[in-house]
Amino acid sequence: MKNPFENANVLITGGLGFIGSNLAIRLVGLGANVTLVDNMLPRQGGNLFNIEPVKGKVHVNFSDIRNALSMNYLVQGKDYVFHLAGQVNHVDSMRNPIQDLDINCKGTLVLLEACHHNNPDARIIFAGTRGEYGKSVHLPVDEEHPTNPVGIYAITNLTAEKMVLVYHNVKGLQGVCLRITNTFGPRHQMMHDEYGVLNWFIRKALDDEAIPVFGDGAILRDFLYVDDLLDGLLAIATTPGAYGDVYNVGTGRGISFRELAETIVAVAGQGRVAHVPFTRERKEVEPGDYVADIRKIQEATGWNPGIPLEEGIRRTVEFYRKYRDHYWKR
Ligand SMILES: NC(=O)c1ccc[n+]([C@@H]2O[C@H](COP(=O)([O-])OP(=O)(O)OC[C@H]3O[C@@H](n4cnc5c(N)ncnc54)[C@H](O)[C@@H]3O)[C@@H](O)[C@H]2O)c1
């Protein structure tokens, strides 16, 4: 089968972050011409070391998605735009909600306007979050589940998703939206614990410290390894019939935080599990159990997550054992 990304022109917003950089490495391997735009927002995942394997093989633009002049230029001639730039810190979205609104909503709108006026044929893939559902009223959570976000980050993601769909439906752009579960793996920020819980647990294990599990640790989450997410992103991007709709991406399997922490200790051979009380700011944005129903994306694209949790953790542990100096303190 022909590789649809060979010689394709691709723009990745947030391309120096966790998902964006892993996607860039994958796409370069597939023969795409890859351009990254990232503003290196402090305390987020932007890290030049992330793109070390493709150094010199991608174009890097240090700019902001809210900058219309930059975006008007950068979208030109692109076949695909993977929109991964965002304010992604749930805790920070409550401390600094105006910045969250500005980046996630205005930034998305600037990008959509840029495509509308400069490249209406671009295929836009928006990375939203499972947080858009809020507290689950049934499990697994399918795309028809009510959306009742419990934090500003999830509200701005839901709004951005709706904007992409309006530009698809009303202005004729090609946009598809994903609601992505907790994703982990190499190249995630390891500076603090405010987002990316599984990666943070791995850091605690590698520092041979206690892994702090809130409460009794019984809350369920659905953890996806980043390579599986990349397969999902590429599958959805290359399924023309998928555009104009919303898809969950996850594994469809739930695991408790307690079991997760125990698995990390077992795989790393380091660290220990400690139960600690919820902090107030964590309790405020904690939606409870989540397990994704992934039948819709499976049926649309044939995509299936294939990497077992233990294997994903093993690969992640191996990566940070080698490269921790680039991630622990920056
Ligand atoms: N990692 C997950 O578990 C997860 C789950 C659901 C959804 N998502 C979504 O996927 C996307 C990528 O997340 P990630 O985990 O790679 O986070 P990340 O922090 O590693 O990457 C985000 C990148 O966006 C950049 N950025 C922020 N504001 C910007 C702006 N105004 N202009 C240009 N660049 C900007 C940051 O500098 C950073 O490099 C986000 O939209 C996030 O909401 C991630």
The confidence band for 330, taking pLDDT boundaries of 50, 70 and 90, is: low
Q: Per residue in 19-35, pLDDT tens?
A: 999 999 999 999 999 99
Give the per-residue pLDDT at 7.
98
- pTM exceeding 0.85: yes
E strand spans, the chain: 9-13, 33-38, 58-62, 80-83, 123-129, 174-180, 182-184, 210-214, 220-221, 223-225, 246-249, 255-256, 272-276
Which residue has its alpha carbon closest to ligand 1 atom 34? 38
More confident residue, 77 or 282: 77
Minimum-distance ligand 1 atom for the alpha carbon of 46: 39
Q: Is 134 in the pocket of ligand 1 (CB under 6 A)?
A: no
Q: Is 65 in the pocket of ligand 1 (CB under 6 A)?
A: yes
The confidence band for 91, taking pLDDT boundaries of 50, 70 and 90, is: confident
Q: Per residue in 143-161, pLDDT tens?
A: 999 999 999 999 999 999 9
Percent of the chain with pLDDT over 90: 93
Strand partners, 142: none
Which residue has its alpha carbon closest to ligand 1 atom 12? 84
Range of weakest confidence among 65-74, 133-142, 242-251, 281-290: 281-290
Q: What is the CATH number of domain 9-184+224-250+292-306?
A: 3.40.50.720
Q: Per residue in 196-231, pLDDT tens?
A: 999 999 999 999 999 999 999 999 999 999 999 999
Cα angle 178-181-187, degrees, rounded to a multiple of 5: 100
Q: Give the domain ranges of the chain.
A: 9-184+224-250+292-306
The number of beta carbons lying within 10 Å of the beta carbon of residue 16 is: 27
User: Which of 274, 247, 296, 4 minimizes the C-alpha distance to 132?
Assistant: 247
30 alpha carbon – ligand 1 mean position (Å): 23
Give the per-residue pLDDT at 286.
82
15 alpha carbon – ligand 1 mean position (Å): 8
Q: At a CB cut-off of 8 Å and minimum separation 6, what does 194 contact? A: 43, 89, 90, 91, 92
Q: Is 233 helix (H, G, I), strand (E, B) or coil?
A: helix
The confidence band for 1, taking pLDDT boundaries of 50, 70 and 90, is: low
Q: Is 11 in the pocket of ligand 1 (CB under 6 A)?
A: no
Give the per-residue pLDDT at 282.
79
State how far the Cα of 234 lies from the Cα of 216, in Å rounded to an integer.
37
19 alpha carbon – ligand 1 mean position (Å): 7
Instruction: Choose the residue to mutate in 16, 18, 48 for probing ligand 1, maximizing ligand atoms within 8 Å of C-beta.
Output: 18
Q: Is 182 in the pocket of ligand 1 (CB under 6 A)?
A: yes
Tokens of 217: 């640790």
Q: Per residue in 99-139, pLDDT tens?
A: 999 999 999 999 999 999 999 999 999 999 999 999 999 99
Tokens of 264: 């990390």
Q: Per residue in 249-275, pLDDT tens?
A: 999 999 999 999 999 999 999 999 999
Q: Which helix (H) or strand (E) holds 295?
A: helix 295-301
State how far the Cα of 270 lies from the Cα of 262, in Å rounded to an integer.
10
